[in-house]
Amino acid sequence: MEYCVIFCTVPSNEVGQEIANNLVSSKLAACVNIVPGLTSIYTWKGEICTDPELLCIIKTKKNLFKEVEEAIKRIHPYEIAEIIALPVISGSSDYLHWIESVTK
């Protein structure tokens, strides 16, 4: 089985909580950490923007990425949400087994 970690920035704790609860309750993710205190600097529509954000760190199986992406897009308020996946190249076998056991 292949696993991934998905990063998704959100504008508020409420949005992060809604995404996290949706993903975990629907078994699309084993766990979502919501990390506060980010400052994002990016280009949007030709302007340099600086905004406070939070980061959702989503642990799941690689084959669930598309479903996770669709679920996030249904909730996320941004026109283009950051939804990027990184492969898990190694991990505790106990933890990876747990991800397997609590997701679809």
pLDDT tier at 45 (50, 70, 90 boundaries)? Answer: very high
Cβ count within 10 A of residue 3: 22
* Dihedral of the alpha carbons of 102, 76, 18, 28, in degrees to the nearest 10: -10
Residue 26 is given by DSSP the state T
**pLDDT in the model for residue 19:** 98
CATH for 3-102 (3.90.1310.10, 1.10.10.60, 1.10.8.60, 3.30.70.120): 3.30.70.120
Mean confidence (pLDDT) of the chain:
98
**Span 9-28, average pLDDT:** 98
Its pTM stands at 0.97
Q: Give me the count of residues in the chain.
A: 104
Quick one: pLDDT at residue 54? 98
Q: Which of 22, 9, 103 is nearest to 70 (CA)?
A: 22
Of 39, 36, 41, which Cα lies nearest the Cα of 52?
39
Query: Helices marked H in 1-64 — which ranges?
Result: 13-25
pLDDT bucket at 79, cuts 50 / 70 / 90: very high
Domain ranges of the chain: 3-102
Residue type for position 81 = A
CA–CA separation, 96 vs 104, rounded Å?
14
Mean pLDDT of the region 24-45: 98
Give kind and range of the element (H or E) at residue 49.
Answer: strand 47-61
